[in-house]
Amino acid sequence: MTSPARCFSPADMAPRRTRPNPPAQPAPAAAAAPGRQPEPAAAHPAEAYTPRTLTPAEALAPGRIGKRERFRNQFQHGLRRSCMHPHARLVALTLLGYANDKTGLLSPTYRPTVKQLADHTGLLPAQVQVQLQVLTQRGWLYSRPIAADPCAGTTGLCLAVPAGVLEQLRAARAKETAPRGEAPVSATPADEPDTPPTPGSARR
């Protein structure tokens, strides 16, 4: 027995509407590794620091400490990078304990004698004398007149960082503080020293 034929209604004869596909969602961004922050893009490209070209006499002259620099820190870092004998560095660090933190000046009132330096360092007085000469010849120690009271008119010893060593310290510092993958930043005008020293009074 056959089934009766199906009768189609007008709704069956009307064209069917297809359901629109939902809009594609953007792929989620990859999550950063835990504990690591994304590095911000640099606003301006870094400029490479180029140390100044100095003559041998200029390299041994007292360096000028900038406004953002501290004499004591630069002196200690410079001694570590120097190739001087350990006795010379020992005498220099001992003198630093008597010097002014900002200028390196050794006032005649508080300046240690050769015997006191020998007692502090464990060296012989003759060895201390030799190392004082080495420090003077290398530009780490020089003499200059004192204008401030109560020692006005006298000559005092002054510690210094040679200009050549100071340029090396600035270049190394710029390289260490530069962002990863960028060139070191050159010194700005704010890093320039306040007042130049008196190289004419330096002992050679």
- For 90-141, the pLDDT digits (tens) are 999 999 999 999 989 987 788 899 999 999 999 999 999 999 999 999 999 9
Helix (H) or strand (E) holding 12: helix 10-13
List, in sequence order, the alpha helices (H) in 154-193: 163-177
- 148-183 confidence digits (pLDDT tens): 656 666 778 899 999 999 999 999 888 887 776 555
Could you tell me the CA-to-CA distances from 34 to 29, 31, 39 in Å, in that order?
15, 9, 14
- Sheet with strand 155-159: strands edge to edge: 105-106, 155-159, 141-145
Reply yes or no on whether the pLDDT at 88 is more than 60. yes
Reply yes or no on whether the pLDDT at 196 is more than 70. no
Residue among 167, 194, 191, 189 nearest 61 (CA): 167
Higher pLDDT, 174 or 2: 174
Q: What is the pLDDT of residue 177?
A: 78
- 40-73 confidence digits (pLDDT tens): 554 444 456 677 889 999 999 999 998 889 999 9
Amino acid letter, residue 3: S
Residue among 151, 141, 139 nearest 58 (CA): 139
Q: What share of the chain is helix, strand, coil (3-state, %, to 5)?
A: 35, 10, 55
Q: Which domains does the chain have, with CATH numbers?
A: 69-178 (1.10.10.10)
Top mean pLDDT of 82-91, 100-109, 183-192 is at 82-91
Reply yes or no on whether the pLDDT at 190 is more than 50. no
Q: What is the pLDDT of residue 194?
A: 47
